Structure 1
Amino acid sequence: MTSIFQRALGDDFDRLHPQLRRRFGFGSDDGIACVGTGVMDRVWHGRGFTRPFLWLGAQRHILLPSRGSDIPFTIQNYPYRDSLGRETVTFVRTFVFDRPKRWDATMIYSPERGCVVDYLGTHQHVSVDLHLSVDDGGALVIRSGEQRFHEGPLHFRIPALVTGTAQVRESYDEDAGRFRIDVEVTNHRFGPLFGYHGTFTCTFPDAADAPQSIKPVREQARA
């Protein structure tokens, strides 16, 4: 099966480092998942006024209000078909501060939007267009685009003033034998909001389906 990331990148998928092709190259018919375990060297957030927004988002596993160094980290990427028949991949990230905190997302490929769409949180209230590319070092680069809010009959584009633009770079360090991740979310007016960077290793367990505990509580039909 062609993964959602292969569909988004097209021929550029073959330019990824081989370990990244393995990490992002499977789908629900392949019967495997990818589970990463490591340490984030630093998890940070912006100035004090950002904390209420981060705390609110954290109630639905959308944002991280905490910060620290050497934070244990896991990421669970399980492919499955959602109730609408869409090929879906979980991105459930757990950061262990004084107690574990999760940042959940589920991703699909949208032919209508021509990109990967990232549904944030436990209830998929927010969908975000993700634009993927491959840099000269074979790393995967993801930049977020338009963001939309969904709740009942409400469906609207979120103004850029109150959103953050995420930039993610994931690479493979041959010398260390580890994946490297660097995430930064900024607002064009207020500056850096939050981010993290660190390393992890991956296992590829057999998986017929994603565990129910990491699936969203509600699925949103609208991209």
Structure 2
Amino acid sequence: MTDRDSVFLRALGDAASRLRPEVHEYVAGPPAGSRSGVGRGVFEIAGSPYRRIAGLLRIVSGPDVALDAYERDVPFEIVNRLAADGSRPRLDAERSFRFRRGPRRFVDTLQVGRIPGTLVNTPGTDGRVELLLECSVTADGNLMMQSRAARVRIGRRRIRLPKLVSVKVTVIDGWSPEHEHRTVDVSVRNPVLGTVLRYRGWFPYEYVPS
């Protein structure tokens, strides 16, 4: 293990020691001399089956969140950038999807939550939606994040969304021993509509010198 710092390690605390080494290397953040990392791979499946309502979703979530495509074997790139708000680390992520119907982008920010073991996820560029994610380590040493609450910003207020219009987010950052590459599996579900966003795939990852 290393003495590096990241939002994930702060949220997990002592539980981070149960991460498998390959996953720990990824979530520990960039080493000294680097502020970002880049991964390029293929999503086995990516996007939303509700392509036609992507425009309505953008009204709530803002730009760079809703995806109006749903395809298989989608090349992608993820860029993670380490930032900070005062003494608190922050992770800014950008995912670029190369759909056959054209490129799409999904961005979000992660910060350590006030509740132990949690992260605050703000998807999109406008910060209209805020998700509280609970972090844990799976039995096979992967990182799991599951949403506990969703809030939407209205003016200066943040209102908790009722269950019927809210979403349940599950993210698993893992490692495939068989293929020796990093894996990611993300699902976003609504109690009424079912799965509204999904992407699952693999990628190699490297840090970029500052």
Q: How far 1:152 moved relative to its partner?
A: 3.1
Q: 1:121 to 1:47 in 2, by over 3 A?
A: closer
Q: 1:18 to 1:128 in 2, by over 3 A?
A: same
How many residues end up aligned between the 2 structures?
A: 205
Could you say what secondary structure the match of 2:136 adopts? Answer: strand
% same residue? 26
- 1:122 corresponds to which residue? 125
Q: How far 1:46 moved relative to its partner?
A: 3.5
C-alpha distance in 1, partners of 2:162/2:39? 34
Do residues 92 (structure 1) and 58 (structure 2) align? no
C-alpha distance in 1, partners of 2:88/2:35? 17
TM-score, normalised with respect to structure 1: 0.82
Q: How far 1:70 moved relative to its partner?
A: 1.1
Q: How far 1:199 moved relative to its partner?
A: 0.8
- 2:19 corresponds to which residue? 16
C-alpha distance in 2, partners of 1:185/1:75? 18
Give matches, 1:136-175, under 5 Å: 136-175=139-178
Q: How far 1:86 moved relative to its partner?
A: 3.5
| Contact in 1 for aligned 2:78/2:96 (Cα 8 Å) | yes
| Contact in 1 for aligned 2:61/2:129 (Cα 8 Å) | no
C-alpha distance in 1, partners of 2:202/2:58? 25
Alignment RMSD, CA only?
Answer: 2.3
Q: 1:205 to 1:15 in 2, by over 3 A?
A: same
Q: 1:86 to 1:124 in 2, by over 3 A?
A: farther
- 2:136 corresponds to which residue? 133
- 1:71 corresponds to which residue? 74
TM-score, normalised with respect to structure 2: 0.87
C-alpha distance in 1, partners of 2:84/2:32? 9
Runs of 4+ in 1 over 4 A off after TM superposition: 27-30, 47-52, 54-59
